[in-house]
Each structure stands twice: as C-alpha cells, then as structure tokens.
Chain A
Amino acid sequence: MIKKNWMYWLFFLALFLAPFYLTEFRLSLLGKFLCFAMIAIGISLIWGYTGILSLGHGVYFGLGAYCMAMYLKLEASGGRLPDFMEWSGVNQLPWFWKLFEHPIISISFAIIVPVLLAMFLSYFTFRNRIKGVYFSLLSQAIVVVFVTLFIGKQEWTGGTNGLTNFSTVFGFSLSSPLTQIVLYLLTVVLLLSMFLFSRGLTRNRFGRVLVAIRDSENRVRFLGFNPTTYKVFVYSLSAAFAGIAGAMFVLQVGLISPAMMGIIPSIEMVLWVAVGGRSSLIGAIIGAIVTNGAKSFFSENYPDIWLLFLGGLFIAVVLFLPNGLTGVYQSVRQRKKQGEVRANEASSHVLQRVSRF
C-alpha cells in the first residue's frame, strides 16, 4: 500500500514542508490553490465518479466564505457596526449577523449552510429525475440567483465589494507570518483528510454504486438501489468541501466578493478537475494547483492573452485529453508496460527458438 502510493505521500510531504522552502508570497498563493483543490476533490467525486456536472459550486464556496468572513468582519469592527453597513444607512446589526459573533457557530455555519442548500436543491431535482445537462443548467441558475442577491442586498453583504478589511482571527493577527503558516498547515491537513476520506469512500461499495450511477442510472435503480440517496449524499458532501474551502480561503486571502462565486469561477472549478483528470482524486488536486498556477503566471505576465489561453485550454482538454493529466500519465505508463510485456514476449520467443536448437 505505502510502497505503491509513495508518490501521493511524497506529494503531501512536499506540501507540508512548503513553509520551509517558499517565500511568504508564494506560500499564501499555494494556500489559496490548496483551498481550490478542496473544491476540486468534491467536484471530482460528483462529476468524475457520479456523472453529475454541477456548475453551481461557486455558491457553496461563496456561502462558506461569507459565513467565515462575517465573523472576521465583526471581530475587526470591534463591537461597532461594520463600515459598509454604516455607509448604507443601517443603524442596527441584522439579527442573522448577530449569530456570527461566535466563532464556533460561524465555522459550523460555513459547512452547514452550503450543505443545507445543496441537500435542498439536489433532493428535489434528483427525486424528480432531473439529470445530466438539465441539472447543470439549473445549478447555474442558482449561481445567478445568489450573485444577484448578494449584490442587491448591499446593506447586508457589502454588495459588489464583498467583505474585506479583516484584522484578527481568535485574537491572532491575520497579517502575521506565523498565523499564515499555521493557517497554511491547517489547510494541508484538511486537504489531506478530505483526500483520504474521499479515497476511502470511492474504494468500497459506496464508490462502486456511484460509478454504476454514472454509467447507467436506470440499471442501478432496477437492481434495487435508490440513486437519489447516493446522489444527494455525494452532492452535499462536495458542497461541504466547498464550504470549508471557502472558509479557509477567506482566512488566507482576507477577501470575499460576489465575483468569486459567479458563473465564471464556477465553470473554472470544473476546468481544474477536467485538466487534472475528472475521475482521479489526486488528479483533481494537481489540476487545481497547475491550472491556478498557470493562471496567476499568465494573468500577471500577459493579462490580454490569459482569456485566450484559458479558452484554448478548455477546448484542448475536452478534445484531446478527456481524462486530463492523470489520463496522460496512465496511458504513458500503460504503453511502457505493454512495451515491456512485448519485449519480454519477444525475448522469450527468441529463447524458445534458441532452445530448440
């Protein structure tokens, strides 16, 4: 087991040791990418394993992020009204903001709120057997609804600017390097546990039912399983991952706005998984890191070309790499293996001939 998967462990070890060899700036960038990798694991579970393409994960990410950000905002305001509320003419803290004065409630809400929304949405759509493309487009509509709401209710959410200007978390300064390193390590731990949990899930019977749903949902139904339960569970699980990712993202980046949960980010999330390989969990993580690394490189150096590059990447991955980077790796390894087998056969053939003489 350990011998076979030494590459995974090496990968995570490299992530754990990153604070020793990366600059502060690069480390915070990597921390951000690892948050995205958490979402990617969830999307790989629902898309790669179960065959449900969700274009709505920006919302779950955003809800998790806003729950955390509301707490940070209240802590930064130090008992007074948050600044944007004063500007919008609100004199009293709305009742639901009061809940977020407590850190434990905020953190648990960062998971509960996305999960509840995902359960609600997916139960009703999957129960009515709305699936495939229809589900994708409906989940996209949810994104539009939430982005419109968050921008429109400026007095409660900060509008297009979102929530920003945080100072401390649990009394620790967010700008201090030590806090950032601790938060980074926490992100790696969370990512590793999500990865291990998802891997365990996909390797037992549960995972095989998911794959069966992807390949032929009706047959699964005829065999006596209820696909709705499985789909709702795995969809809500991925929403929980996205919510946690959102909370960790806010802690490390210090900003959340509706633009980060809109249609474009939601579709980009799918692209990360497609690039890495949709039915590979480690591929999803690598895809998120590679794509976002390329994004920050290109958008820093060639801001005009970035969209062309991203668009070309979508087309190229779909047409030429349906299994993403891990698919390439696997087919290369397979070809090498086949080559070895052929070589062995050839040599044994020669030996046989030789022995005949």
Chain B
Amino acid sequence: MSVFVTQLFNGLSLGSIMLFIAIGLAITFGLMGVINMAHGELIMVGAYATYVVQQFFAQYAPQSMDYYYIIAIPVSFFVSALLGLGLEKSLIRHLYHRPLDSLLATWGVSLILQQMARTIFGAPNVAVLPPEWLDGGVHVAGMVFPYKRLFILAFVAVSIFALYMYLNKTAAGRRIRAVTLNRDMAACLGISTQKVDAYAFAIGSGFAGLAGCALTLLGPIGPTIGTYYIVDAFMVVILGGVGKLIGTVLGAFGIGLIGTLTEYSTSATMAKVITFALIIVFLQWKPSGLVSMKTRSLD
C-alpha cells in the first residue's frame, strides 16, 4: 500500500514538472501554432535568473537568504517573458504561417542562447541552493513526502489556476482565446491579432521561466538543461491535444504516472522507451490527442 502511494506521489510530482515545462508550449504551440524549439532555453533562462537572484542575495543581503526564492519567482517569469516578447517581435512574427520554418529558426535561437549561457555562466553546471524552509518533508505512516515536491505541486497548481483565470475571466485572456478559435473573425471584430500574438507568446515564455525556477529546486542547472526537457514537453502537448489547457494537464499527469509506474517495474531507460512507445501507440488510436478542439476544417 505504502509503496503504491509513494509511486502515485512520485508520478504526480513528475507530472507536475512535466506540466510546468509544457504549459508554456501549450500556449505558444497549442494556441498559436508556432513550434518554439527555444522553449527549453527559455526554461534555462528562468533557471539562471533564479541563480542570479540567489547570488545577489548571498552578496548583498545574506540575512534574508531564506526569502530569495520568493523574489526569484517573479524575476524568472519577467526575464523569460521579456526575452520571449523580443523574440516574437524580431523573429516569430515573420513565421506565423510557416510552422516548420519556425521550428528551424527557433532551433537556431536555442543554440545561440545556449552558447550565451555558456559564455556568461561557464559550461559546468551551477548549483542553486534551495531555501532552507524547503528541506525535509512530511512523514505520514512511514512514508516521506519531501517539501520540495509538495511545494512544486502547489506552485504548479497556483500557476495553472492563475492562467485559467487569466484566459477565461479577463478581457485580455478572452482576446487570446478568440484569436485562437478564429483568427480572421477576431480580426474583423477589431482585435489586434498582432498584439495578442505578442502577449500570448510573452506569457508562454514567462511560464517557461517559472518552470526553470521550479527546476532549480530539483538539481543543478546548466546550459543544456533545456534540451533535456524540450522533447518531453512537446510529447505532453501532442498527447494532451492542441488548443485546450485541460488536455495538457491530463497529458502531463498521464505521462508522469506512466513514467514512474514503468520505472518501478523496469529501469529508467526502459521507462522512457515504454512511455514514448505508448504515446505513439495512443496517437494511432486518437491522432488529435486526449482533448482536442472540434473543427470541421480539412487541413
């Protein structure tokens, strides 16, 4: 029983991380149809932003080191969001109707960002020390639930809730949804689709930054941290179905649970292979993913 609960918890924990790395993609890929291969590097930027905030605190305010993480969360969001906004204005804007080209161009961006990180922070990984109040864990009936993982779960839940409220309850969020559903009609109704695209891309990038901030709790960070996660993130979005947030949530927790359950019975390598194989098999049955927008268009 306790083994089962632990595995379930690990699955949820992995799922929440998957969700975090994929949610930004769900916006840029799902809503806008842009393949942003630099998404992983935006995660890296968020992680390094957290590292910089920590270094800053260690240098100038060592007495309040406990709270650096609270500052790091908005900082990582805004740094990545600004970078994303700049990227949209300079590059993505030209590629909206050429998804395969956007893939190549953003891959180029990701290479440049990686090299810049290597030049600024050095090639070896840097360690971010999690705040002390996240050490330890809750003990329940002989099982340990680490605070870090619980914190990430809560962090993801709050972020997703905030995103949901933004998209559904605010005027700006509704404009994003309107453009997603029918770009031409939204434009006819007077919505500036260019502006909406730019904001949506910035928000998606900001969520990548938040994911990077969360990843610093789990281990050291390096210039290539993004490439580890990018394929997983795309798998989550494809499995979940494009265009609906709830699909991404289901896809992430589905992959997280499958991953930890197969890892328990085989090895980490085989778990990855089996998970991906199951996704490919599943797509044979439902090519548009778990939850997809109904459409009657042909292409």
Contact = CB atoms under 8 A, between A and B. Distances in A.
> Which interface residue of A134, A311, A312 has the most chain B CB atoms within 10 A?
A311
A90 interface: no
Nearest to B112: A311
B136 interface: no
B265 to A, nearest CB: 16
B283 interface: yes
Given A132-B99, A149-B269, A311-B109, A319 B287 contact: no
B103 A136 contact: yes
A342 B280 CA distance: 56
Contact of A304 (B99, B107, B119, B235): B119
Given A314-B108, A319-B91, A128 B284 contact: yes
Given A140-B234, A307-B115, A314 B283 contact: no
Given A307-B111, A310-B108, A311-B108, A136 B100 contact: yes
Contacts of A137: 35, 231, 234-235, 238
Nearest to A264: B227
Contacts of A313: 108
A315 B105 contact: yes
A271 B272 CA distance: 28
Contacts of A134: 238, 283, 287
Main secondary structure of the interface of B (DSSP, over half): helix
B112 A312 contact: yes
A274 interface: yes
Interface size class of B (residues with CB under 8 A): 35 or more
B115 A149 contact: no
B269 A151 contact: yes
Interface residues of A, number: 43
A315 B272 contact: no
A253 interface: no
Nearest to A274: B104
A180 B231 CA distance: 38
Contacts of B273: 145, 148-149
A138 B231 contact: no
Interface in B214-246: 227, 231, 234-235, 238
A129 B283 CA distance: 11
B127 interface: no
Interface in B241-299: 267-270, 272-273, 276-277, 279-280, 283-284, 287, 298-299
B62 to A, nearest CB: 34
A315 B238 contact: no
Contacts of A140: 231, 234
Interface in A298-329: 304, 307-308, 310-315, 317-319, 322
A98 to B, nearest CB: 24
A53 interface: yes
Nearest to A124: B284
Contacts of A312: 108, 112
Nearest to B116: A308
Contacts of A244: none
B205 interface: no
A133 interface: yes
B191 interface: no
A270 interface: yes
B94 interface: yes
A154 to B, nearest CB: 10
Given A132-B99, A136-B100, A308-B112, A318 B283 contact: no
A144 interface: yes
A145 B287 contact: no
Contact of A145 (B91, B276, B283, B298): B276
Given A124-B284, A148-B269, A133 B104 contact: no
B36 to A, nearest CB: 11
A137 B95 CA distance: 18
A141 B280 contact: yes
Contacts of A132: 99-100
Contact of A218 (B91, B103, B277, B299): B299
13 contacts: A53-B100, A124-B284, A133-B103, A134-B238, A138-B283, A141-B279, A152-B268, A274-B104, A307-B111, A308-B111, A311-B115, A318-B95, A319-B94
Interface of B: 35, 91, 94-95, 99-105, 107-112, 114-116, 118-119, 227, 231, 234-235, 238, 267-270, 272-273, 276-277, 279-280, 283-284, 287, 298-299
Given A124-B280, A318-B108, 15 more contacts: A128-B287, A133-B100, A145-B272, A151-B269, A152-B267, A153-B269, A274-B104, A307-B111, A308-B115, A312-B108, A312-B112, A314-B111, A315-B105, A319-B91, A322-B101
